[in-house]
Amino acid sequence: MLFLDSAPDITPITNLISTWIHIGQALVGSIGALAFIFAFLWKITAAESKSALAAKQWIQRIVVGTIGVEVAGSLVDILTKSVPPSH
């Protein structure tokens, strides 16, 4: 079978994955920043200490989630670059 002799071209797939990663990171960054601002305002204006503690926990979740998305994007980038180029 002659058509199996060449390696498949995975460039379009890696470009698509890279594009979606950048879109996801931009969305998470934008939504995360907005959520962080609201949680911070909630913490500042909280009348009860229990409410301020809940806001602080949400701020921690937002920060950890944003860092998680950045790490996941970096890992996918490393994995897609580890695939040998097609010939």
For residue 70, the model assigns a pLDDT of 80
Please tell me the predicted confidence (pLDDT) of residue 3: 58
Q: What is the pLDDT of residue 24?
A: 82
Query: pTM for the whole thing?
Result: 0.59
Average pLDDT over the chain, rounded to an integer: 81
Residue 7: pLDDT band by 50, 70, 90 thresholds? low
Q: Is the pLDDT higher at 5 or at 61? A: 61
In sequence order, which residues have a C-beta less than 8 Å from that of residue 49 and are 6 or more positions away? Answer: none
Alpha carbon distance 25, 32 (integer Å): 10
CB of 46 closer than 8 Å to CB of 52 = yes
Rounded Cα gap, residues 62 and 34, in angstroms: 10
Domain boundaries in the chain? Answer: 28-87
Section 1-20 average pLDDT = 74
DSSP category for residue 4: G
Q: Which residues contact 28 (CB under 8 A, 6 or more apart)?
A: 65, 66, 69
